[in-house]
Amino acid sequence: MLAIDTNVVVRYLTGDHPEQSLRARQLIDTRPVFVAVTVILEAEWVLRSAYGYDQTEIIRALRGFGGLATVEVEEAATVSFALDLAQTGMDFADALHLGKSAHCTGFATFDRKLVKAAKATGLENVQEA
């Protein structure tokens, strides 16, 4: 299995570079690939900040990508949980932090917006530091 970088994922999803996008498609569509959770995090950031995708477009793109038969996403259940939270309007990185720390008794932050968003989704163990 071949691990792939964020730029390969982004080229696959956006098709913005004719040669590299074609190569990304040929690579991903023809062999098993591994996508680290950090690559998913960075891909979300790139799609949002550099390409102007909105939250709905990003979630749809990442879910579709993760659902490809040749793609194995590291900690897929955690990424899916984070995408679910992001779908409610929570920042994806914050949602991923919560997913990665689900084994802990709680999560402390100075980010009041995160606390409010988490509580709105039923996550009562997120608290202000």
Dump pLDDT digits (tens) for 7-58. 999 999 999 999 999 999 999 999 999 999 999 999 999 999 999 999 999 9
d(CA 37, CA 22): 24
d(CA 45, CA 39): 10
For 48-62, what is each residue's pLDDT tens digit? 999 999 999 999 999
The pLDDT of residue 29 is 97
d(CA 78, CA 40): 11
Domain coordinates in residue numbering, the chain: 2-74
